[in-house]
Structure 1
Amino acid sequence: MEAADSERTAVFRAVKPPPAAEPPKASTFVPLRTDEPGQQPKTPPPAAKAPAAKAPVTDPAKAPSSAATPSSKAAPPAAPAAPAAPARPASLDRAERTTQQPLPPKPPLDMLADLTNNPPPPPSPLRTAIRRFKIYFPLVVLLAIILAVVQLVRPLPQPKLVMTSKSSYTFGGSKPELPWPSEGQAYMAAAGLGSLGQSGEQKPVPIASVTKSMTAYIILRDHPVKKGDQGQMIDVDKTAETEGKKNNSTDNESTLDTVKEGDKISEYDAIAALMIPSANNIARLLARWDSGSQEAFVKKMNDTAKELGMANTTYTDPSGLDATTVSTAEDQVKLGLKLVEIETLLDITKKPSWVDPSGKSWRNWNGLVPYNDSLGIKTGTTTKAGGNLLFAAQKKVGNTNQLIVGAVLGQHKPPIIDSVLAASKQLMIATQKALEGAPVVKKGDVVGYVDDGLGGRTPVVATADVQAVGWAALTVDVKLVDGGGKIPQTAKAGTEIGVLTVGDGASQVKVPVALQSDLAAPGIGSKLTRVG
């Protein structure tokens, strides 16, 4: 019975389960940015530790018994339940999914909101305008200061003269009628004033020794001689001596027969021999001295003619002996207007005679000098060319010596030299009588002003009466010029600041102009407000 009871009773031994393993501690992660705008990131609470699983205590006495049959076996004990995994905070899941990247810098107001935990105020037009004003106003002030400094240190513009008086004057009456020659051609003009008229057809004709006027012009242009000086010394060659001994009575060739090879002749005396006794051998000597050969010099003569606008002139030799050297009265006057600007030349041509280096005296073929304020220039006579003369004269009008230039060509009435001199004399005297003066501006009249370039204007006045020189129906130009120097920025009243001119060329009337009041430099206001 006891044995049977023991067989039916199962003795259970309590099985101690193994200790549960602690779950790994979760790392603490602070998010760089919260999901909600304007909120400070919160540190997640530390993960709660899972409680250790306690092994169930089994009391054999209290263990339930069950009826066991001899054939039944004890059931294996149930496996303990696995402890539940602790819950993971949602922030950790988000943090693991977020890649930690550097964030762009926040605007100052957003950073301030983060620090104060206050959201930035909503934008408004007024707040935007104030914000822009605070940004741009200092820049505008800085630019204004820079611009003002630049304006103050910029160089001042150069003052200039501006004329307010009339720019021309016209003489009353009708144009004068001149006594033109009955044959050939003629032309008359006044230096700086223009032409008084012409007669005959202006076609190219031989001009004989009038050609030497161009030779003299080129020599004195390229080798200037001051008044009173002798200029360069020129070696006399064998050709000049040989040509001086020739006497070609058919063509009335004039030469200077006192020169010898090895001699030296001054430039001044060579020009005198050229223009007074009309020495052909000296003309050719000067050509060789200047250009190396007569051919090269003739080319220079034709080039110069083109420069002066002598369109109907052709030179083939420096003396004019060749009849193929041709021109017109008008073209020769164009040359004469340049010759009267050479003081040394007029000092020679107005002489009634000249004494050469050997002591021999030579008569000037231009019989108009020294009468009626004639200034001479050059005669030219050959059988084929007839009598020809390029002449100049002067007339005192007011304080000005007015220069006139005329040319008469193709006078064939014998004696041809007397015919051309008589025709030229009539034209010269009639032109001198036609010249007159007329007041244009009186002393003290305002004729213009100095413009300082920044709006300042200082009047200028004539320092003397201004008289125009001309003839009836002529219009002359009136100009205000600076006199060739720079106008100062400041000057006292009465300072001569320029010149008022009437006409052009060698006979131009010139009167200084002066400041009516002090010339002051532009002020700060003008400097700051100038444009350009």
Structure 2
Amino acid sequence: MKQAILLFSALLLCPHAALAQKNNLDLKSQAAIVFNAHNARIIYDKNADKVMPIASITKLMTAMVTLDARLSPHERITISKEDVDTLKRTSSRLPVGSSYARHELLRLALMSSENRAAAALGRAYPGGINAFIKAMNHKAKQIGMTNSRFVDSTGLNSNNVATARDLAKLVTASNKYTVIREFSTTSKHIVSSSNKRGPLQYVNSNSLVRHQDWAINVSKTGYLSEAGRCLVMQANISGQPTVIVLLNSWGKNTRIGDANRVKKWIESNHKVADTSSRIKRI
């Protein structure tokens, strides 16, 4: 408990506690934070307190609320018309009328950002989607996300907002869930379909989970025109659990490039970084 308080206090109270060498790290994302979850130190921050749309990063909260409810992972949930995206009109390979175990929908929502899967999880929550959204916002307050708001379970609504600092807390909290760690880093998965199309194969929306030089514990991507391309991760870099939050990366490959830049920078400077961070210990 003391460690959690230290971690969240570090994120909340020291928005400029980045290393002196951070100017050598040029990230293209509009907002970012890099956080060492082991020693509660911020390594780098850029517009970390700007409230922004977070797109499908929302699904990490969807997963936590679903798991906190301790609902049966094997209960089958039928995709309904209510789960169809009428806001952004995104496509889905989960047809209305097909049914899947809750754990299958959770895996698809996390690894490949399946919107109907996330919508169905919220709808099937006790009390329905309104109760689910209430639980999402309650959970956000519980883990210290003071500048965040959730209005749906998918992230398709641009009114799902947070700061990079708050999302670092979300990622850190998500890392405590074994299921989230496993499902969000699954590289590919085949789902048995109840329709004539046969089995459906999905791949992770974060290509870095398939790279051998990355050791990723939690991962989630997001995209909306209002949010740009987003990426959050917790990964082991130079032996340290490192949280990376990248928001509003407009180039198609910018968020991946930024993540690789963070990794390379930490690996090249970790001895200097450790010395500097002791000076700025939180």
Gaps of 5+ in 2: 1-18, 194-198
Which residue in the other structure is 2:90 paired with?
253
Whole-Å separation in 1 of the counterparts to 2:45 and 2:233: 15
Secondary structure of the corresponding residue to residue 75 of structure 2: strand
RMSD: 2.8
Query: Residue 319 of structure 1 aligns to a residue in which SS?
Result: coil
Compared CA separation, residues 295 and 243, structure 1 to 2 (3 A): closer
- Equivalent of residue 373 in structure 1, options 214, 217, 231: 214
Per-residue Cα deviation, 1:74-104 (whole angstroms, up to 9, x for no partner): xxxxxxxxxxxxxxxxxxxxxxxxxxxxxxx
What's the secondary structure of 1:314's corresponding residue?
A: coil
Output the TM-score relative to the length of structure 1: 0.44
CA distance in structure 2 between the aligned counterparts of 1:265 and 1:259, rounded to whole angstroms: 15
36, 48, 65: which one aligns with 1:218: 65
CA gap of 1:307–1:333, structure 2 versus 1, over 3 A, is same
Tell which has more relative contact order, 1 or 2 (C-alpha 8 A, sep 6+): 2
Q: Which runs of 5+ in 1 are unaligned?
A: 1-173, 225-230, 438-469, 477-502, 504-532
Higher helix fraction (1 or 2): 2
Correspondence for 2:101 among 256, 259, 265: 265
Q: Could you tell me how far 1:253 is from its partner in structure 2?
A: 2.5
Would the alpha carbon gap of residues 189 and 432 (structure 1) be closer, same or farther in structure 2, given more than 3 Å must change? Answer: farther
**SS where residue 209 of structure 2 aligns?**
coil
Equivalent pairs, count: 253
Q: CA deviation at 1:235?
A: 2.6
Larger radius of gyration, structure 1 or 2? 1
Within the candidate set 235, 240, 255, 2:76 is matched to 235
Aligned with 1:388: secondary structure?
Answer: strand
Moved over 6 A (4+): none
Distance 1:321 1:383 in 2: 10
Q: CA contact under 8 A between 1:265 and 1:357: conserved in structure 2?
A: no
Change (3 A) 1:366 1:222: same
> Distance in 2 between the 1:270 and 1:428 partners?
31
Q: Provide closer, same or farther for how the CA distance between residues 247 and 300 of structure 1 changes in structure 2, counting only shifts above 3 A.
A: closer
CA distance in 1: counterparts of 2:125 and 2:155, whole angstroms: 18
Question: Residues 424 and 266 (structure 1 numbering): CA distance in 2 closer, same or farther, change over 3 Å?
Answer: same
**Distance (whole Å) between structure 2 residues aligned to residue 472 and residue 252 of structure 1:** 50
Query: C-alpha deviations, 1:8-60, integer Å up to 9, x for none?
Result: xxxxxxxxxxxxxxxxxxxxxxxxxxxxxxxxxxxxxxxxxxxxxxxxxxxxx
- Aligned to 2:210, the other structure's residue is in SS state coil
Deviation at 1:258, TM superposition (A): 5.2
Q: Specify the alignment match of 1:393 in structure 2.
A: 235
Equivalent residue in structure 1 for 2:250, among 403, 407, 412: 412
- Which residue does the alignment assign to 1:472? 275
Query: Does the 8 Å CA contact 1:255/1:278 hold for their aligned counterparts?
Result: no
Alpha-carbon distance in 1 for matches of 2:167, 2:32: 10
Q: Could you say if the C-alpha distance between residues 393 and 280 of structure 1 is closer, same or farther in structure 2, counting changes exceeding 3 Å?
A: same
The answer to whether the 8 A contact 2:29-2:255 is kept is no
Structure-1 separation of matches of 2:38 and 2:268 = 17
Aligned to 1:257, what secondary structure does the other structure show? Answer: coil
Deviation at 1:362, TM superposition (A): 0.8
CA contact (8 A) 1:251 1:383 kept: no
Q: Any idea what the Cα deviations from partners look like across 1:335-368, whole Å, max 9, x if unmatched? A: 1011122222222222222212332111211111
Rounded Cα–Cα distance in structure 2 between residues aligned with 1:216 and 1:287: 10
Q: Which residue matches 1:499?
A: none
Please give the per-residue CA displacement for 1:213-268, whole angstroms capped at 9, x wherever unaligned.
111122223328xxxxxx6222323xx24366x577x936253415734x34142x
Letter in 2 for 1:387: R
- CA distance in 2: counterparts of 1:423 and 1:202, whole angstroms: 19
- Following superposition, the deviation at residue 408 of structure 1 comes to 0.7
Report the Cα distance in structure 2 between the residues aligned to 1:254 and 1:338, rounded to whole angstroms: 30
Contact between 1:214 and 1:335, CA under 8 Å: does it hold in 2?
Answer: yes
Aligned 1:2-21 pairs, distance under 5 A? none
Q: Distance in 1 between matches of 2:127 and 2:209?
A: 34
| TM-score w.r.t. length of structure 2 | 0.79
Counterpart pick for 1:350 among 181, 185, 191: 185
